[in-house]
Each structure stands twice: as C-alpha cells, then as structure tokens.
Amino acid sequence: MSRNLDIAVAIIEDDSTIREGYVYLIGNTPGYIIAGSYPSFEDAAKKLVHDNPDVVLLDVELPGINGIDAIPKIKKLIPEAHVLILTVYEQDMLIFRALGNGASGYLTKNTPPEKIISAIHEVMEGGGPMSAHIARMVIQSFQRNEASPLTRRETEILEQIATGKSRKRIAEELFIDLETVKSHIKNIYHKLNVHSKADAIKTAKDNKFI
C-alpha cells in the first residue's frame, strides 16, 4: 500500500504553524513520509486520492467542512486510509461522533511528539490510539447510569454547563447554533423536573446522569 514501506501521512490542519510542525516531525522521522498537507478538507479532497496516504492526521475545527463531517468523505475517497483526529476539543459527544464516523483514533494537541509518531504506527497495526484523558472519558461514559432520561447530546450539554461554560460557548464548541442549545436545555429541565441550572446539575450528579 505504501511506497518503500514508509508510512505515508497526509495532514489536514488550518493552523500553518501547527501544520508545519507536524510536517517537520513526521517528515524527519525514519519510516514516515509526508504524502500531503492541507489547510482544509476542501483543499485536501482534490488531491487525497493521488496522495494515497496510509494515515490522515485531521483537525476538528477547519474552515468550511469541519473535521468530524469530513471523516466519512475522506473514507469514501481513500477507504484504506486510517483517520487520526488531533484536536484541542475533548467533549465526549465530539469524540463519539468522530469514532462513529470512522476515525481510528483521537488525540489531543498537547500529545508529545513521540506519542503522535507511535499513534500513527499503532493505527497501522490495527490499534485505536487515544490520549489517556480521552480514553478515561470514553470509559466514564459507559459507567453512567443507563437509566438516564437524557440523550447523549443533552448529557454532554449539561456536563458543559456544569463546568461553567456559557450557552454561546457550548454552541461554538459543539458546532451547533445557540437556539439548538437553548432547546436542549429546555428539554433537560423538563426531563429532570427542575427550573434552574443549579438544580439540573445537582439532580443529574445525584443520579449519576453526568
């Protein structure tokens, strides 16, 4: 699949400094080559088939089509390639959407360089690398009360509220509009039979819904 048995990596990251850092790191590691690097999915889409990478390092927050929505499109263009998410976002809804859309792993951008390299290797061996913090969140999500009346999205929004984030910030980070967040919060209050943010958080925590 790869030429010269080197692992070919394509990078889709809009921050040029970060992108160039990955190019330098991977391009200077024996056994790895850069197949291409792009600031957006739209730019990458024109060349990915030709690049034929083994692994695509993909950011979530991209101009145009975001990384989560780009995953199935990438998989359609290059079905054999593994998609490795590398992002600052750690909300579990985004993680589950990424994995559900076909990502093979999910790392945060503070991952040390040598771990990024080993994650690329791991994904080629059939593994599913995740930052320790991300893996912990995935495990915790399975340990929540199965009887929760809240949907996964409502649970995530309530968790974000519990960390003190504003509705506007939640909307931005989850790539949904403000009205959708407000609608979810209304449903949360109704399902938990509460009338305030504090009561919603307390009820949810007491019942292990979050």
Q: How far apart are the first and last CA of the chain?
A: 44
| Cβ proximity of 143 and 49 under 8 Å | no
What pLDDT, in 10s, does the model give residues 149-167?
999 899 989 999 998 999 9
Q: Note the pLDDT of residue 49.
A: 96
CATH fold group of domain 3-137: Rossmann fold (3.40.50)
Q: Note the pLDDT of residue 4.
A: 56
Report the mean per-residue pLDDT for the chain. 90
Q: Note the pLDDT of residue 139.
A: 73
- Positive/negative CA dihedral, 172, 175, 176, 177: positive
Q: Where are the domains of the chain?
A: 3-137, 145-206
pLDDT band at 2 (very low <50, low <70, confident <90, very high): very low
Per-residue pLDDT for 3 more than 70?
no
Q: How many Cβ atoms sit within 10 Å of the Cβ of residue 192?
A: 21
Domain at 145-206, CATH from 1.10.3720.10, 2.60.120.260, 1.10.10.10, 3.40.50.12780: 1.10.10.10
Q: In CATH terms, are 3-137 and 145-206 the same topology? A: no
Q: Note the pLDDT of residue 196.
A: 92
